[in-house]
């Protein structure tokens, strides 16, 4: 079911920017109704183009041609003002429970339409935590990115042999090891912004290895190298 519930919180896309990204969020609120109230509250100054309830209901809040206020500070592919370049989709979820099947099915239908309308490929679909790794963690560890990737609605990297680190013990920028420097380079080539090494590792794992723990390892490096198949 799709409903229109206009939010007053929007503006024009700046500088003639076109839609090139879709950013997925969770609401982190106790109910869809509470999230809807906030996303339509002029005093809150936040919004999204779409809000999807757990039962699969899709609420259209801001026209796709307008700039919704969902992404905040952050970057992707060396450019800021993600709001002007993106469609924002909020999923009603606290971040502590799995995403409901009707909600995921509705998201898949919505994403397929958005990508087709704007001529975008699966690499255009990113997490809020991808573009703001030091600030955000949504849609979180329980979101099924691989499911979307299997339908061509997001990307999932193959394991690619990462190049061996340079034998020199010299550490890279910010004191990062050669392995971490290579890992960060792979993420940047995909689209991730500059951030502290620990923040980038956490954001990468949140999306691709949500239950991994400990320092950077060979699987992290192999998956990050695989992201180079999807350049920004």
Residues 95 and 54 in one domain: yes
Residue 2 has pLDDT above 70, yes or no: no
Place 172 in a pLDDT band, splitting at 50, 70 and 90.
Answer: very low
Structural domain boundaries, residue 119: 2-150
Locate the DSSP E strands across the chain.
2-4, 10-11, 21-26, 50-52, 58-60, 67-68, 86-91, 125-127
Residues 131 and 91 in one domain: yes
Among the listed residues 12, 45, 64, 90, the single catalytic one is 90
The pTM (predicted TM-score) of the whole model is 0.93
Contact by Cβ (8 Å): 25, 46: no
Summarised one tens digit per residue, pLDDT across range 45-100 is 999 999 999 999 999 999 999 999 999 999 999 999 999 999 999 999 999 999 99
CA–CA distances in Å: residue 109 to residues 46, 70, 119, 167: 24, 21, 16, 48
Report yes or no on 167 lying in a domain. no
pLDDT (mean) for 210-216: 96
Report yes or no on 166 lying in a domain. no
Instruction: Quote the pLDDT of residue 161.
Output: 75
Report yes or no on 222 lying in a domain. yes
Instruction: Quote the pLDDT of residue 176.
Output: 81
Summarised one tens digit per residue, pLDDT across range 178-191 is 999 999 999 999 99
Q: What CATH number is given to the structural domain containing 145?
A: 3.40.80.10
- What φ, ψ does residue 100 adopt, rounded to 5°? -65, 150
Number of domains in the chain: 2
Note if 90 is an active site residue. yes
Summarised one tens digit per residue, pLDDT across range 120-152 is 999 999 999 999 999 999 999 999 999 999 999
């Amino acid at each position: 079911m799709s409903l229109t519930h206009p939010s007053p919180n929007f503006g024009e896309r700046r500088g003639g920017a076109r839609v090139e990204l879709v950013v997925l969020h969770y609401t982190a609120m106790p109910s869809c109704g509470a999230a809807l109230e906030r996303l339509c509250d002029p005093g809150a100054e936040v919004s999204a183009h779409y809000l999807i309830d757990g039962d699969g209901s899709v609420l259209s809040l801001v026209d796709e041609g307008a700039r919704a206020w969902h992404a905040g500070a952050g970057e992707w592919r060396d450019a800021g003002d993600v709001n002007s370049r993106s469609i924002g989709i909020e999923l009603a979820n606290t971040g502590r429970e799995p995403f409901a099947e009707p909600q995921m099915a509705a998201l898949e239908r919505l994403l397929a339409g958005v990508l087709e309308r704007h001529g975008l490929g699966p690499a255009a679909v990113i997490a809020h935590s991808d573009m703001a790794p030091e600030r955000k963690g949504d849609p979180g560890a329980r979101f099924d990115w691989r499911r979307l990737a299997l339908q061509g609605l997001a990307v999932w990297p193959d394991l690619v042999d990462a190049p061996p680190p340079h034998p020199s013990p010299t550490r890279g920028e910010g004191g990062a090891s050669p392995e971490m420097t290579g890992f960060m380079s792979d993420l940047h080539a995909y689209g991730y912004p500059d951030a502290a090494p620990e923040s980038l590792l956490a954001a990468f794992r949140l999306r691709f290895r949500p239950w991994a723990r400990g320092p950077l390892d060979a699987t992290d490096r192999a998956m990050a190298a695989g992201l180079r198949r999807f350049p920004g």
